[in-house]
Structures are given as C-alpha cells and as structure tokens.
Chain A
C-alpha cells in the first residue's frame, strides 16, 4: 500500500488519520482503515447513533417520535428531512421529554411515562418510538420497562430505540432502528416463516425514505412490470403496512448501509430472500429492474421490464446527451454518508463522462471500500471519516470541479470555488430512477457550468484577497 504521507506529504495531516486515507495506485489490495471510532479533535463530519436511528425511522408517518433526552438533540432534528407522506403528517413533529438538571439527577423514567401518556391521549397513534440519547444511556433509565408498561396501559405498541449517541456512530443507529422495526413487524406469537404468502408478486422495498417522492417513483416502475410493493422501509410507511412486512415474497434493498442487517434477519426469521438493487443512475436502474424480473423468472415480466427501460431511456437520452457534452472530462469529488451511495455516484458520474478524483464516506464498510477501490481510477484519493481540512486539501490538490456531499460540506466547496451537489436527506427533488438521473445531471450541469464561477474563481473580492490565486487550472 502506498503510504499517503509519502504519496502526498503534508504537515497538517494528523498522524492517526493516515491509515484512513489512501491513493489508489499500484497496490493490489485495499487496506483502508474504516468502521473505526472518530479521532478526537479531527472535526469529523459524522453524526451520532441517534441521528442514524432517526433517519431510518422518521419516515414512519403515523408514529409518535419521542426523543427521550435534553432539548437540543430534538431541536436539531425537527422536520429536517425531505421524506414525504401520502397520509399522516404526525412524523413531522419533534416530541421531546426535555430533560432538565433535576431529571438527570433523579432519573427521567417517570417523566417519560407521563410524556407518553400525554402524547398518546392527544394524538391517537398506534405506535410510539422512544429514542434514547446520550445522557439517558448514562443515567440508566430503563427505557424497555417504561415502554412495556406504557404499551400495556394504552394497548398500542411503544418501542424503545437504543440510540445513545456515544455507543458508536451512525451505523449503530441504523442497527438500533432495525431492531425496533423487527420488533414492530413480528407477528403475535413470535416470528416464523410465513407459509401462506400472498399470491401476487409482492416485495418489500428496503432503504428508501421517500425523499421528494422517490419511493413513489420506484413503486410505479415496479407496478408497470407487474410487481406490487408490499411496504417500503420506511418511506411513506405506516403502522398497519409495516405489520404486513413478513408476507412479502422478496426484499429489495436500496440503501444497504442501513438495511443489510434487517434484510438478513428477515431472511432468517421469515425466509424472505433479498436482492441488492440501486435506482440511482440509468445503468443501475435498468440493471435493477432486470434483476428483479429475473428473480421472479417470468418472461412476461422481463419483457415489460425491457420495454420500460427502453421507453424511459429513449425519453431521457437527448437531455442526458446535452449534459454529457458539457460535462465530459470534469473532475468530481465525493463525500457522502454511506459506501453504497458512493459506489452508485461513481457510476453516475461515469454516465456523464465525469472522472472521480476523490471519494470518501462517513460510515462505509470494508466491503464497500473494496468495491470503491476496485472501480476507482488510479490516483483517486479514497478516505474514510474525512474532516474539512482533508476535504479542502484533496479537492484543491486534485483540482476537483465539483463536490457531492451534505449540508456541512457545501459552504466549504463554495468557498474553494468548487461546484456542489446536495446528496442528503433534506433534498426536495428526487434523484432516483430515470427522472432522478435527469435531475442529477441537470443539477451537476447547473452548478459546474454556472456563470458565477467566471467571477468567483478569480482572486475574489474583499479585504483579504491576495495577488496569486492558488486555484487549480480549470
């Protein structure tokens, strides 16, 4: 493995970080350190366990989402996601037990119990998720017991989500959320394989949070090829639909980072096989539709899938072609949450003729980094759990024209004169399927080829401008 410190020396690089960064080169194997705890003082961009759990469960529309903890944790997560609902809007509220000093000293169990009572009475929901936060983990409130009592009292389901922030990172939160979901879907009398599956071809669609209606788009595609979506985990889902999850004949999985665990468990418990698919980009969307049709093994379904692919591809080709022309040869940097998304993005950029020069994730897993390593071009910087100063350094050194990332990364890119694509859970436009691929390409074009860079990439204005611009050639 090429040691990055010799490949790209820099005084500012923190020693402990070096094993989490590599440059793809002669080395055959990927030896990137990942899935490790963030190093203190490294200004990690990672979020916490609670954040991960909330991402996964928040789209359950008719649930009461109650944060057991101090106010801040709830405040920063109030209605910040772009998940859409076709029914209840209850999930968009941020409920919190608002623990104060006294509760920290004497325990918050009673307050939690009263909070659940109050909310259930006011909102008539059949499902409550209670999220634990860091302090709750420390003061040792017995969430399990409080939830059980409340469930009994109100005759509804009250599920604890063990998401204390300090027990890991976002991935641990995905797992905590999946554990809660597994309890939710368990039929009365315990989990068992379902013999009487529904006669229709019905799938659970895992790992789509219906951001800007993405799950609706995919549902429509599947319907067109003759597949019914049983329930989505968890975009636009609700209590009743989730309960039916064990009845599906197949799980298809978009976001593996959050859903691989629950897919595996559902296979063990309910004998539901699962397929990894991706509806990001033209290539992946087409391949995924075929993969699903192939699974069911029906020629008619395959024919309809091929027809759909042809129809949709023809419809978007002219516009995609125009963008390709403008964008070919540009260089992109990627810094996103999960490894699977990063892989999809590399493919999507290729479809547009864009080279990826830097790719990193907050919580990618080893297998995903292996794939990233395999499909990257030589010279690409690959890094895990990056911080602003590393992002700045590698984007600048590599001459990236574009960064794709989340809210925190955006201003950094802009300040560096780098175009930016939002790929986070707050987005208001879909990026899935054919319509999503066009949206993506249009967004890339509108930022990379914007006239503002003509002005902003010069030395800039203001008091602090210096003579020689340090920007790479564009």
Chain B
C-alpha cells in the first residue's frame, strides 16, 4: 500500500480543512448559555461565523476582540477585556470560551493568563472563562475542536463523588446524530453527560421568544461533575492523548476511558451498544435489535450496488474512519482516503480494516483537493463521500458526491443528516446506494453504446 503524505509542500491547492479556532467554536456552541470570543482580528471571526452559519442555517454569534494595529503592537489585553465586558453585557452568558487566531498567537498573547487576569480584575472568582490557544497555523479545525473540549473539561472538572452516570464525548457530528446517540442512551436507560451537545442549539426549532443564546447544550454543572462518572465513552479513536478530554479525565481523575469509533456501521454500533449494556449491566432492548435487523436487511438489499463503487472518503479524521469502516462492511471499498489533518494515523487504524478489500488504498495526510482529485483519477474512483468542498471533484472529474460531515454549504439540511446508530447507518447507506444508482442510470445507456455498438460493416 503506498503511503503518501505531503509533509512539506510549498503551496496548498484548494484546501481540505479549516483552521483551528474555527473548530474550537463548535464545542462552545454545545454548552448551555455559553458564548465564545476569538482573540484576534475581526475578519477571522466573521469568516468562521459565516461558514458555520451556512452549514447549520442558524445564527452564529461569536465575539471578536477586533485587534487593530495598535493592539498588535502593544498587546491586545485591552481589546480582549473590552470584548469580554461587552459580551457579558449583551449576552449574559454563564461560560465564555476564548480562542486565539493566528494574529494573537504571532504577537505572543498568553490567552490563559489574560483570562485569569480578567477574572481577578472583575472579582469573578467562579466564572468559567476557558482560554484556548488555537493558532490557525497550528492545526486544522479538528484539532481545534478537541483542544477546546479538553481545555473546557480541564477548566471545569472538579473532584466529585461517584454519581453513577457516564460521560459521552462526541466529535463534530450533526445535531441529528447527537439526538440519535442520546436516544440510544435513553433507550438503554443510561444516566449520562454528553459533551458537547449541539442537538438543540445548532438545530433550533422555531420558537418564541427568540433568545440570543439558543436553549440547550451541556450544562456547566454537569461538566464540573464529569470526574464522578463511572466511565467515559469518547468517540475519538483518532484523537491524540494531549488533546483528548477523555484521556484527561482518566489520567487526572481515574475515570476509565473507552475510546470507541463513531457508532456508525454494524460493528461500531454493536461496540457502543454492547459497552453500554456491559457498563449498566442491562441488556439490549428489543427496539434496538429490530433496528439492527433492519440495517442488516438494508445492507443485503444493496450490497451488489455497493460493490460497484470505488470510493474516495475525505474530511475530519474521525468521520473518515467511521465512513470507511461502514463502506467496507458493505463491500464499497475506498481507494482514496484523505484528510487535511496532519498526524491522523488513518493508515494505522484503517489498514487492518481494509486488508480484506484486496485493493491498493491511497492514504493522503494533509491533503488538498488537487491531490485528492489526482488520486481519484489514478485510482478510478467513482464515488466521493465527504463535505461540500468535494463538489470540486464532481465538477472537475464528474464524480458524484454524497454529502456528509462539515461543512455542507451548498445544500440544505447538513444539520439534519442522520448517519449514526443502526437507523442512521441505514439512512446513510441508502444515500450512498441511491447516489451510485442515479449515476448509473444517468450513464449506462451511453456507456454501453460507446463500448459495444459498432455500425454494420465497420
């Protein structure tokens, strides 16, 4: 299997990822009554808000310390403090996250220290202010997401009496996925704290009155009590220990960590459901067994169509792993597996899964879409699965794209895409299969004509 990576390259052609603070915003949107500020220049936060708003179709309010030339030269504490004052005044949040942009990091701002100074100055001893250093050049949005989560947990978690609940820490999934995970937890009668919970905040029902911070999200108090859980389930097999909130809870408070793949596909969902049964000592309820059976039925129904697909899967490492495993279970073997992230370990994780497929798999780390495109062409890919930017592959190579992940900005409903659990996997597979079928019906007459028809006498 060839192992290709762009360790050092001079130019990125059509990026496959976003920057660290952008990923850091998302967890804060899943905490109850929380707000977030980007310490840096105004433009960064505006771009990120725009990007997130387009995906979720929700208002995304993010403060900025609006660093200007002066702040850049003399330090931005003044700007940051003013931003904190104003955000508190208008939004009255119960927690504020502060992320940094490239600019703040380049001029050497110590955001965690500044957060402490602010609290002291204001006499706000107990206000949760979570500073996270997220230089845009330091990593992709995936790393920003996990780091912000870890810092939040580290900032809030307190030694707590065992309370019998479990912690569930989720990657950047859709609100519909989060709802499905919660439904499974509830069916299994599990007491849990799910972090971050964007299920209501970023898929908000029309309701009156409008509140500036959407209702819902993980409660701050619940995060404080995470050390008292009997276990942490974290869907983060690609997450390195230094940015892993589950790992933090384990090493600091001794909460056992179960690092699982995203519960998508038969095996991974079995793992999740099985673990829940094991931890709670309960059994798997009938309704989940039925759903599992229906998923199997769906797989059998569509396996031959799936066998005709050669896939390219790209996006956040965690989601890429989940999608590749699910596709492999159905005989749709990925030929190109790509992520914009650096050390994702995709090959180590997926290599064993894909040995069965008997084909070469091209893994791309720190990928850009120009490379993904070239690899698709070289490997005869006929189906792409990933976020909206993959439309580039459709436009340039005619490869149909099944939209999945973040961001989806050229279609509606990214926030409602359900892909986890037995039911979600069924939905996902239908989307993939139908896309293959649509492509086939569109082309097969012309293809067959071209291949086989010869005019008489020629």
Given contacts A48-B42, A408-B46, contact A12 B14 (CB under 8 A): no
Asked if B84 is at the interface (CB within 8 A of a chain A CB), the reply is yes
Complex CA–CA separation, A93 to B15 (angstroms): 10
Contact A72 B44 (CB under 8 A): yes
Asked if A463 is at the interface (CB within 8 A of a chain B CB), the reply is yes
- Whole-angstrom distance from the CB of B107 to the nearest CB of chain A? 6
Asked if B270 is at the interface (CB within 8 A of a chain A CB), the reply is no
- Whole-angstrom distance from the CB of A408 to the nearest CB of chain B? 5
Contact B136 A71 (CB under 8 A): yes
Contact B204 A415 (CB under 8 A): yes
> Restricting to B242-268, which residues have a CB under 8 Å from any CB of A?
none
- Whole-angstrom distance from the CB of B364 to the nearest CB of chain A? 15
Asked if B173 is at the interface (CB within 8 A of a chain A CB), the reply is no
* Across-interface contacts of A408 in B (CB, < 8 A): 46, 49-50, 53, 59-60
| Interface bits B40-64 vs A (CB < 8 Å: 1, else 0) | 1111101111110110111111111
Contact A464 B83 (CB under 8 A): no
* Across-interface contacts of B66 in A (CB, < 8 A): 37-42, 44
- Stretch with Cβ within 8 A of B (4 or more), from A114-122, A216-224, A250-258, A285-293: A114-122
* Across-interface contacts of B42 in A (CB, < 8 A): 38, 44, 46-48, 165, 169
Contact A165 B43 (CB under 8 A): yes
- Stretch with Cβ within 8 A of A (4 or more), from B86-94, B231-239, B304-312: B86-94
Complex CA–CA separation, A116 to B72 (angstroms): 28
Complex CA–CA separation, A410 to B64 (angstroms): 20
Asked if B178 is at the interface (CB within 8 A of a chain A CB), the reply is no
Asked if A411 is at the interface (CB within 8 A of a chain B CB), the reply is yes
| Interface bits A1-21 vs B (CB < 8 Å: 1, else 0) | 000000000001010000000
Contact B207 A165 (CB under 8 A): no
> Restricting to A36-94, which residues have a CB under 8 Å from any CB of B?
37-51, 66, 69-79, 93-94
Contact B14 A94 (CB under 8 A): yes
Asked if B103 is at the interface (CB within 8 A of a chain A CB), the reply is yes
Q: Which of A76, A98, A469 contacts B208 (CB 8 A)?
A: A469
Summed over the interface, the residue pairs from A and B with CB atoms below 8 Å come to a total of 252
* Across-interface contacts of B53 in A (CB, < 8 A): 407-408, 410-411
Asked if B283 is at the interface (CB within 8 A of a chain A CB), the reply is no
Contact A41 B84 (CB under 8 A): yes
Asked if A275 is at the interface (CB within 8 A of a chain B CB), the reply is no
Contact B136 A138 (CB under 8 A): no
Q: Which of A103, A119, A167, A389 contacts B11 (CB 8 A)?
A: A119
Given contacts A39-B82, A45-B46, contact A462 B90 (CB under 8 A): no
Q: Which of A69, A115, A387 contacts B10 (CB 8 A)?
A: A115
- Stretch with Cβ within 8 A of B (4 or more), from A225-233, A295-303, A304-312, A453-461: A453-461
Using CB atoms, name the residue of chain B closest to A13. Answer: B90
- Whole-angstrom distance from the CB of B87 to the nearest CB of chain A? 5
Asked if B209 is at the interface (CB within 8 A of a chain A CB), the reply is yes
* Across-interface contacts of B208 in A (CB, < 8 A): 459-460, 465-466, 468-471
Contact B43 A70 (CB under 8 A): no
- Whole-angstrom distance from the CB of A135 to the nearest CB of chain B? 5
Contact B17 A75 (CB under 8 A): yes
Q: Which of B11, B46, B57, B80 contacts A411 (CB 8 A)?
A: B57
Using CB atoms, name the residue of chain B closest to A110. Answer: B10
Given contacts A47-B46, A459-B208, A464-B207, contact A72 B82 (CB under 8 A): no
Asked if A97 is at the interface (CB within 8 A of a chain B CB), the reply is yes
Asked if A320 is at the interface (CB within 8 A of a chain B CB), the reply is no
Contact B72 A456 (CB under 8 A): no
* Across-interface contacts of B340 in A (CB, < 8 A): 71
Contact A40 B44 (CB under 8 A): no
Asked if A99 is at the interface (CB within 8 A of a chain B CB), the reply is yes
- Whole-angstrom distance from the CB of A147 to the nearest CB of chain B? 15
Asked if A139 is at the interface (CB within 8 A of a chain B CB), the reply is yes
- Whole-angstrom distance from the CB of A54 to the nearest CB of chain B? 11
Given contacts A39-B82, A45-B46, A411-B57, contact A463 B90 (CB under 8 A): no
Using CB atoms, name the residue of chain B closest to A50. Answer: B43
Contact B12 A98 (CB under 8 A): yes
Q: Which of A41, A51, A77, A118 contacts B83 (CB 8 A)?
A: A41
| Interface bits B201-216 vs A (CB < 8 Å: 1, else 0) | 0001111111010010
Given contacts A74-B15, A97-B11, A165-B41, contact A40 B212 (CB under 8 A): no
Using CB atoms, name the residue of chain A closest to B15. Answer: A75
Contact A12 B44 (CB under 8 A): no
Asked if B273 is at the interface (CB within 8 A of a chain A CB), the reply is no
> Restricting to A407-439, which residues have a CB under 8 Å from any CB of B?
407-408, 410-412, 414-417
Given contacts A40-B64, A95-B12, contact A464 B19 (CB under 8 A): no
> Which 7 pairs from chain A and chain B are nearest by CB?
A48-B43, A72-B19, A462-B205, A41-B83, A41-B86, A460-B206, A40-B83
Known: A165-B41, A465-B205. 9 other contacts (CB 8 A): A41-B82, A46-B42, A117-B10, A119-B11, A134-B101, A388-B59, A408-B49, A408-B53, A414-B57
| 17 A/B residue pairs, CB under 8 Å, sorted by A | A41-B87, A42-B86, A43-B63, A51-B43, A76-B48, A96-B12, A97-B11, A99-B137, A118-B10, A118-B11, A408-B60, A411-B57, A415-B59, A460-B206, A463-B205, A464-B207, A465-B207
